C-alpha cells in the first residue's frame, strides 16, 4: 500500500496518510453496487477479488526486483575491478619419458676444420749401445736414449726403461735362389729332367751342366705351374753321362 504526506499539514505536526490500493477501491465500488443491485454487485465483487490477487502477485514480483532486474541478474552483472596477478605456482612433477623417436636421416658432411698448430720437435731416439740383459741397463738415462737387449729396443721414457719391441725381424726368404737337380743319361739317348723350386716360388730361368761326354738340350722351359724348370737332354756319346739341371727361382 502506498503512503503520501498530507500537504495540508505543515510543521512538526505533519502526518502521513495511506493511499488506498486498487483492491480497496474496487471493494468500495462493489459495496456501493451491492446496495444498488445484486447482479451488478456479484460481478464487481469477483473482479475485486481477482484484482486483489493480481495486485498482490504484482507487488510480490516487484518486491524481488530492482530496476527491472532480479537479484541473480544484478549479481551476475556487478563485479569489482580486476585484482593483481597472483604469484607463480610451484613447478609440477616431471612427466614420464616419452617413446624414442624414429632415427633421422644422416646429415651431410660438415666443413673441414682449420689446420692445427705445428707441434714441438720431439726429443728423438738415440741408440746408445747394447747390453746383455735388461738388468744390465743403466739405472737412469736421458729421454730418447735406447739400448739393444737381445734384439729388443729399450727406450728411456723419463722415468723407466720401456721395451719398444724387436728392431730386427726374422730372416727372410732370398729374393732369388738356385735349385739343383742331378741327372744321368744313358749312351745315345735322351731324358727330360725338372729342377723344382721351393713352395711359393716361381721359376724364371734354368740350365744344366755335364760331367762327361757330349750332352745337349733340345728343349728348355718352365713347368706348366711355373714352380720349376724342365730341360730335354740328349746324350750323343757311346758312354753314359751325368750332371745337374739348374732351376732359377724367385719368391
Could you list the mean pLDDT of each consecutive 10-residue stretch along the chain, which spans 251 residues?
Answer: 49 54 67 57 51 53 61 70 87 88 87 84 78 92 90 90 84 81 92 93 92 86 94 92 92 82
Helix (H) or strand (E) holding 130: strand 126-131
Can you give the pLDDT at residue 125? 80
pLDDT at 178: 92
The pLDDT value recorded for residue 147 is 92
Domain ranges of the chain: 19-70, 126-166, 176-250
DSSP 202-233: EEEEEEEEESSS-EEEEEEEE-TTSSEEEEEE
Identify the pLDDT of residue 228: 95
What is residue 170's predicted lDDT score, i.e. its pLDDT?
72
- What local confidence, expressed as pLDDT, does residue 233 receive? 93
The kind and range of the H/E element at 25 are helix 22-36
What is the reported pLDDT for 11? 47
Q: What is the pLDDT of residue 182?
A: 94
Amino acid at each position: 500500500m502506498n503512503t503520501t504526506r498530507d500537504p495540508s499539514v505543515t510543521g512538526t505536526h505533519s502526518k502521513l496518510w495511506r493511499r488506498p490500493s486498487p483492491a480497496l477501491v474496487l471493494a468500495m465500488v462493489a459495496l456501493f453496487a451491492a446496495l444498488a443491485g445484486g447482479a451488478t454487485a456479484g460481478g464487481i465483487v469477483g473482479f475485486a477479488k481477482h484484482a486483489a490477487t493480481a495486485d498482490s502477485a504484482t507487488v510480490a514480483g516487484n518486491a524481488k526486483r530492482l530496476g527491472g532486474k532480479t537479484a541473480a541478474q544484478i549479481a551476475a552483472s556487478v563485479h569489482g575491478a580486476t585484482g593483481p596477478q597472483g604469484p607463480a605456482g610451484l613447478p609440477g612433477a616431471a612427466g614420464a619419458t616419452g617413446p624414442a623417436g624414429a632415427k633421422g636421416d644422416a646429415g651431410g658432411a660438415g666443413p673441414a676444420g682449420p689446420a692445427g698448430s705445428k707441434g714441438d720437435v720431439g726429443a728423438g731416439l738415440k741408440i746408445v749401445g747394447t747390453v746383455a740383459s735388461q738388468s744390465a741397463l743403466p739405472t737412469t738415462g736421458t729421454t730418447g736414449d735406447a739400448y739393444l737387449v737381445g734384439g729388443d729396443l729399450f727406450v728411456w721414457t723419463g722415468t723407466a726403461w720401456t721395451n719398444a719391441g724387436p728392431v730386427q725381424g726374422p730372416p727372410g726368404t732370398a729374393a732369388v735362389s738356385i735349385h739343383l737337380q742331378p741327372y744321368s743319361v744313358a749312351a745315345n739317348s735322351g731324358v727330360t729332367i725338372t729342377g723344382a723350386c721351393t713352395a711359393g716360388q716361381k721359376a724364371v730361368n734354368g740350365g744344366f751342366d755335364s760331367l762327361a761326354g757330349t750332352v745337349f738340350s733340345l728343349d728348355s722351359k718352365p713347368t706348366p705351374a711355373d714352380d720349376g724348370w724342365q730341360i730335354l737332354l740328349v746324350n750323343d756319346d757311346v758312354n753314359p753321362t751325368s750332371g745337374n739341371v739348374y732351376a732359377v727361382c724367385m719368391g
